[in-house]
Amino acid sequence: MTDNNKKTVVVAMSGGVDSSVAAALLKEQGYNLIGITMKTWGFDDFPAKDSGCCSLEAIYNARNVANNLGIPHYTFDFTEKFNETVIENFIEEYMNGQTPNPCVLCNKTIKWGVLLDRAKELGADFISTGHYARVNNNAGRYYVSNSCDVKKDQTYALWQVSQDALSRTLFPLGDYTKPDIRKMAESMGLKTANEPDSQEICFVPNNDYRELLEVRVPDLKKRLDKGDIIYKDKKIGEHKGFPYYTIGQRRGLNLSLGKPIYVSKIDAENNQVFVDDETGLYKKGFIAREINFMKYDSLKEPMKANVKVRYKDIGSLATLKQLDNGTIEVIFDVPKKSITPGQSAVFYEGDDVIGGGIIRDILN
């Protein structure tokens, strides 16, 4: 074992059970710890959000755990940076007819961005979080690999983390399951042992992104013109503004065709929302842009991979091909349902993340 007592780790403590146990495990391993809780949105911004990640209750919980572990704890205010990057991007993507992954961008710009910078300023060697993932390295490349808990695995949201950031990252929970972590927390007497899992995007009130858009864009409804809903090349109704719709959506369309229909495409430029039968949601592939490689620095030739196109996706086999402009063409072995522009696509080789990108162009 390395001499961990000479290494300092900044632990991101959200006030939940996962980050609490991560800190406790690192202390047992002999590291010097500094607990940090990040405040990323204002408590008065969304009155409905009075609990969960970043709330006052969460900060108090994190501080309580830090006191129990005998480690220093600080709360850093990253609200301005979070607004400038994560929330503004979230709004911009929806206003362009895309569906973003804010947690992916938060990991890149906040946790492994400004938090990592702050950790370096504090003289820390590593940062750590309660993510269910593992960090590996081979041939000079760092990459994340699936955790032992398939249901809780969070590698999908980590694909944008840089090589330098990964080289300074510890994931203590990668070899455990969630039930393991709760049992540990109880045995350690941690206050957060029975904290419920967060199920929502931290800054979205009532888990309704439409409400967020209306709060952050006060003249939203005035800016949105009604447009055509298209089915089989025919107008069958009017939408109330394309940002209110997402691919695969069935409810709230206010259409009666005598059968289920779903949003299949959003054309922001022409202010149209396309709908189709369920079979119309299946596409052969897509082009991913804004690529970040992990396990390899590029794709020298086409390769097979398991590709996930949303967080809860178990993945599907596809062929990856890096095009001359650096984008990745993804062609599935079997057509894939509800591929959504703006979402992340993450490429896996076994348990290892090859890399990922943002879905931009759908291939029919």
Half-sphere exposure of 154 (CA within 13 A, CB side): 22
- The confidence score (pLDDT) of residue 57 equals 85
Give the count of beta carbons closer than 10 Å to the beta carbon of residue 143.
25
All domains of the chain, ordered by start, with CATH? 4-207 (3.40.50.620), 224-276 (2.30.30.280), 281-363 (2.40.30.10)
Question: Which residues does 18 contact at the CB level (< 8 Å), separation at least 6?
Answer: 130, 131, 132, 173, 181
DSSP E strands in 16-168: the ranges are: 32-39, 73-77, 126-128, 134-138, 141-145
Tell which residue, 257, 254, 249, has the closest CA to residue 232.
257
Strand partners, 317: 306
Does 202 qualify as catalytic in the annotation?
yes
List 53, 54, 103, 202, catalytic entry: 202
Instruction: Say whether 121 sits in a helix, a strand or coil.
Output: helix
Sheet holding 32-39, edge to edge: 73-77, 32-39, 8-12, 126-128, 169-170
- The confidence score (pLDDT) of residue 2 equals 54
Contact 202, 157 (CB under 8 A): no
Give the count of beta carbons closer than 10 Å to the beta carbon of residue 174.
21
Instruction: Say whether 22 sits in a helix, a strand or coil.
Output: helix
Does 106 qualify as catalytic in the annotation?
yes
Give the count of beta carbons closer than 10 Å to the beta carbon of residue 221.
12
- The confidence score (pLDDT) of residue 72 equals 97
pTM score, whole prediction? 0.94
- The confidence score (pLDDT) of residue 53 equals 60
Contact 277, 350 (CB under 8 A): no
Question: Which residues does 76 contact at the CB level (< 8 Å), separation at least 6?
Answer: 36, 37, 38, 39, 115, 118
Report the sign of the C-alpha dihedral through residues 10, 16, 21, 24, in that order: positive
Report the sign of the C-alpha dihedral through residues 117, 118, 120, 125, in that order: negative
Q: How far apart are CA 266 and CA 246, in angstroms?
A: 8
Question: Which residues does 4 contact at the CB level (< 8 Å), separation at least 6?
Answer: 29, 30, 31
- Based on its alpha-carbon atoms, the radius of gyration of the chain, rounded to whole angstroms, reads 22
At 39, which amino acid appears?
A: K
Strands 134-138 and 141-145: antiparallel
Report the sign of the C-alpha dihedral through residues 337, 341, 343, 345, in that order: positive
Q: How far apart are CA 362 and CA 364, in angstroms?
A: 6
At 95, which amino acid appears?
A: M
- The confidence score (pLDDT) of residue 289 equals 98
| CB-count burial class (<10 Å; 0-12, 13-18, 19+) for 100 | buried
Q: What is the pLDDT along the chain (364 residues), one digit of tens a residue?
A: 456 778 999 999 999 999 999 999 999 999 999 999 999 976 555 544 444 566 788 899 999 999 999 999 999 999 999 999 999 999 999 999 999 999 999 999 999 999 999 999 999 999 999 999 999 999 999 999 999 999 999 999 999 999 999 999 999 999 999 999 999 999 999 888 888 887 668 888 778 888 889 888 888 877 788 899 999 999 999 999 999 999 999 998 989 899 999 999 999 999 999 999 999 999 999 999 999 999 999 999 999 999 999 999 999 999 999 999 999 999 999 999 999 999 999 999 999 999 999 999 999 9
Q: For residue 157, report the phi and psi dihedrals to the nearest 5 degrees.
A: -90, 5
List 53, 54, 103, 106, catalytic entry: 106
Q: How far is CA 179 from the centre of its chain?
A: 22
Report the sign of the C-alpha dihedral through residues 213, 214, 216, 220, in that order: positive
Place of tokens 């569906």: 99
